[in-house]
Amino acid sequence: MNHQPLPAEPPAIIGLAKLARMVFERVDLQPQWNALVERANADPNDAAALLDLATMLLLTGNSEGGLDLQAKALALQSGYRRPAEGKAGLKVLAVMTPGDMMANTPLDFLLAGSDIELISLYVAPGLRMPAPLPAHDVAFLAIGESEASRPLLQSLAPLMPQWPAPLLNGDALKIAALTRDGVCQRLAGAPQLLAPPAVRIDREGLARIAAGEAALAAALPDAAFPIIARPIGSHAGTGLEKLDDAAALGAYLQGQPGELFYISPFVDYASQDGLFRKQRIALIKGRPYVCHLAVSAHWMVHYLNAAMLDNAENRAFEARFMETFDQDFAVRHREAFAAMAERIGLDYFAIDCAETRDGRLLLFEADVAMIVHDMDPPDLFAYKKPQMRKVFDAFQAMLREAAGRI
């Protein structure tokens, strides 16, 4: 990637949070799109306009077009500035990687509406850090774990201890270790926590199990059907299926083109009423903060498919959960949260989890790049605003403390 040296003040962008809110609120995007296109046509080197256009494409589902336009913007400029609301009280520099909405910690959401200016510095393998760096009070290594980002994180690891400002989430190798199999290995045996083993296996190995030529337990010790399988690198349930026997595994492979997969034992975490409940929780300096709870009749729960918009009873359950979280769920699972915070060892990360019938915390995933936001319709989700404010305030307080501003 070749690009121009960073100016003393990187170019200003609208940024992810404001554009995402427009999409969530179904604002007519055409005027904003036209204005950005007009800027880009008038000045082909207007990298900020190109990056905002790329973000709009990614937010509206055009991943290929968005990533292509993002690459063109980053070829011109590697650093961008999302101004603070009003006068900047703190300048935060995020070290980021090119990619979609799940590639980096969603700092723009976590800082939205604050007096914190966000400077995004995009890096890639073989790309040297600009010198000097843009002026900032505190830095944050925002690159999430993925198959694509792992080499970059490994190359950044020796550079992070030399950072010239306070740095949060600065251990790149700890982020790189947040693979599904790495997390379950790291958390094995933690008190009151169930982190089911996840095993990497190639297509040939799965095909042998499906054909009865190899035992499932040889690949996944002590396991039996049903299992869950997913392609490595997939997110949001893409390619994730529960497989009840070897025949189902064979049928699954026929519909999946990938070569590498994760398999795990299936854990039935349905509550007494038969419904499945999954929480997203952010851990900030080791303390848990609930971000959402989804309720569904299906074991594969995602907030967008859990009928939270249509089901007032589900929303009422989430509201009660948020209201009592600090005195109930967080207390009951304090040992599990403490073990995760210690063993993962990052200033900030988020988890998707549930509760088993025997009362343990069931961990699905841990990552630094899970989406955390407050953009749900306020007429239906009024109870979420105060809770998300707690999350954002805690995150911003962590930044101010690191910068010596508290």
Tens of pLDDT, residues 183-218: 999 999 999 999 999 999 999 999 999 999 999 999
Judged against a pLDDT cut of 50, whether residue 2 lies above it is answered with no
What confidence score (pLDDT) does residue 236 get?
Answer: 65
- For residues 223-231, average pLDDT: 94
Give the confidence band of 6 by pLDDT, cuts at 50, 70, 90: low
Judged against a pLDDT cut of 60, whether residue 129 lies above it is answered with yes
Give the confidence band of 383 by pLDDT, cuts at 50, 70, 90: very high
Q: Domain limits of the chain?
A: 16-170, 198-265, 276-402
What confidence score (pLDDT) does residue 1 get?
Answer: 37
What confidence score (pLDDT) does residue 130 get?
Answer: 76
- Report pLDDT digits (tens) over 136-153: 999 999 999 999 999 999
Kindly report which listed range (196-200, 232-236, 265-269) carries the lowest average pLDDT score.
Answer: 232-236
Average pLDDT, the chain: 93
Judged against a pLDDT cut of 90, whether residue 127 lies above it is answered with no
Give the confidence band of 241 by pLDDT, cuts at 50, 70, 90: very high
CATH, domain range 276-402 = 3.30.470.20
* Right CATH for 198-265 from 3.30.70, 3.30.1490, 3.40.1620, 3.50.70: 3.30.1490
- Name the more confident of 305 and 71: 71
User: Measured over all CA atoms, what is the biggest interatomic distance in the chain, rounded to whole angstroms?
Assistant: 66
What confidence score (pLDDT) does residue 3 get?
Answer: 44
What confidence score (pLDDT) does residue 272 get?
Answer: 92
What confidence score (pLDDT) does residue 304 get?
Answer: 66
Judged against a pLDDT cut of 70, whether residue 256 lies above it is answered with yes
What confidence score (pLDDT) does residue 5 get?
Answer: 56
Kindly report which listed range (130-139, 159-168, 280-289) carries the lowest average pLDDT score.
Answer: 130-139
Give the confidence band of 308 by pLDDT, cuts at 50, 70, 90: confident
- For residues 252-261, average pLDDT: 94
Judged against a pLDDT cut of 50, whether residue 231 lies above it is answered with yes
What confidence score (pLDDT) does residue 124 get?
Answer: 86
Judged against a pLDDT cut of 60, whether residue 237 lies above it is answered with yes
CATH class of residue range 16-170: mainly alpha
What confidence score (pLDDT) does residue 85 get?
Answer: 85
What confidence score (pLDDT) does residue 223 get?
Answer: 86
Judged against a pLDDT cut of 90, whether residue 338 lies above it is answered with yes
Write down the pTM of the prediction: 0.94
Judged against a pLDDT cut of 90, whether residue 34 lies above it is answered with yes
